[in-house]
Amino acid sequence: MDQMLKRKGIILTLVTVMILTLLSGCGTQKNNSDGSVNSSTGKDKKDIIKIGEVQVTEYFGLDLSREGFRAALASRGYKEGENIEIEYANAQSDQSVGQNIAQSFANSNKDLIHAVATPVAQASYNATKDIPIVFTAVTDPVDAGIVKNLDKSGTNVVGMSDMVPMKAQFNLIKKFFPEAKKLGIVYSSSDANSSVKVKEAKSIASEYGLEIIAQGAATTNDVGQTVESLLGKIDILYVPTDSTVVPAMPIIITKALEKKIPIIPEEKGQVELGALAAEGIDFYKLGYESGLMAADILDGKSKPQDMPSKILEDRDIYVNKETLEKLGLTIPEDIKDKVKFVEVKK
């Protein structure tokens, strides 16, 4: 009788161990977006995935990119209030604030960080080399030091660049203003990407018969005064997607239009605010593409270090009809079929 009980006890123990082993195997299994556990976060889609999101400054173009990011995640089954939690913070154009936000996200072990614009992408990379970081609107991520090359990141960072070829913009300028000679650029001298753009503009300006007059602004509050000093010296004002400059777009537009100086920017949102025209990108689409990258990482399909960072090739010629009329201009014949008039933001 004792031997039978002992045998039963041994069998029961073996069965228990087998069951626990099977359960353990199921718990560590790495699957993809069909609802099973993924390899990047070790979490099921039924678990709450925590995302930290940091944006460099308040600007509705960048806000649109965040909307696009969320929409892409939702399209892949990652929905706020259901299985993801996004903690959003804005650096208000303050480098130290951005660094503190990024460090806070790293310290709280977020599953993924979404960094909107160059300074906060750099801050996020400095804060962690382990947590996946997806950026939106970093013009040159290689020059910014957050990826090793565009084709294969080689780091924990990947995302979508807002690079717009300078030649495309210069071609547009010459179509509208064939006689223009002096092109002003207002930018932040502390923004690495803007400095790259100014350098590129100067390197090709002679091909278009243009002289570049560039002036840097130390802070957003300085932009208005910088623009005023430029307006008497230039025929056209070029405004890059500079995180220090774009928050001051309403001031720039008011001052430039008072002097009848047209503004050529780099993205749709700036045209909606009152700039004349841009062969530019739609920041919502830019953020959407970043969101798809994030979904691939959360699904366990890809790792940032193996992924390419991309440039949005889908560009359109956006024109503000109200500004066009104020300046007494018409659309050049050879681009009429390509123009998209924007909805004016007041």
Whole-number pLDDT of residue 8: 46
Whole-number pLDDT of residue 280: 86
Give pairs for 202-206: CB < 8 Å, separation 24+.
204/166, 204/167, 204/170, 205/170
Q: What is the DSSP string of 82-101?
A: TTEEEEEEE-TT-HHHHHHH
Contacts of 304 (CB under 8 A, 6+ apart): 132, 133, 134, 153, 155, 156, 157, 158, 297
Rounded to the nearest angstrom, the gap between the alpha carbon of residue 8 and the centroid of all alpha carbons in its chain is: 64
The mean per-residue pLDDT over the stretch 232-242 comes to 94
3-state secondary structure of 185: strand
Strand partners, 238: 185, 264
- List, for residues 26-42, the tens digit of each pLDDT value: 443 334 444 444 555 55
3-state secondary structure of 339: strand
Checking if the pLDDT of 76 tops 60, the result is yes
* The CATH classification of domain 166-280+315-342, taken from the options 3.30.43.10, 3.40.50.2300, 3.40.190.150, 3.90.1300.10: 3.40.50.2300
Residue spans of alpha helices (H) in 135-282:
166-176, 192-204, 223-231, 249-258, 268-273
Of the given ranges (4-8, 184-188, 264-268, 281-285), which has the lowest mean pLDDT? 4-8
- CB burial of 112-138 (b: ≥16 within 10 Å; e: otherwise) equals bbbbbbbbbbbbbbebbeebbbbbbbb
Which one, of 121, 82, 78, lies nearest residue 98 by Cα?
Answer: 121
Checking if the pLDDT of 328 tops 60, the result is yes
Of the given ranges (107-111, 194-198, 204-208), which has the lowest mean pLDDT? 194-198
The mean per-residue pLDDT over the stretch 111-115 comes to 99
Joined tokens for residue 294: 């994030």
Q: Within 10 A of 335 (CB to CB), how many other CB atoms are there?
A: 16
- List, for residues 204-234, the tens digit of each pLDDT value: 999 999 999 999 999 999 999 999 999 999 9
- Considering Cα of 112, then 113, then 114, then 117, what sign does the dihedral take? negative
Whole-number pLDDT of residue 45: 54
Rounded to the nearest angstrom, the gap between the alpha carbon of residue 109 and the centroid of all alpha carbons in its chain is: 22
Contacts of 283 (CB under 8 A, 6+ apart): 61, 62, 64, 65, 68, 136, 137, 162, 267, 268, 269
CA–CA gap between residue 322 and residue 208 (Å, rounded): 27
CA–CA gap between residue 149 and residue 20 (Å, rounded): 45
Which one, of 84, 140, 88, 100, lies nearest residue 117 by Cα?
Answer: 140
Strand partners, 310: 160
> Domain coordinates of the chain in residue numbers?
49-163+282-311, 166-280+315-342
In percent, the amount of the chain with pLDDT more than 70 equals 86
Q: Is 20 exposed, middle or buried (0-12, 13-18, 19+ CB in 10 A)?
A: exposed
Which one, of 127, 132, 124, lies nearest residue 300 by Cα?
Answer: 132
Q: Is 206 exposed, middle or buried (0-12, 13-18, 19+ CB in 10 A)?
A: exposed
Checking if the pLDDT of 63 tops 80, the result is yes
CATH of span 49-163+282-311: 3.40.50.2300
CA–CA gap between residue 42 and residue 8 (Å, rounded): 37
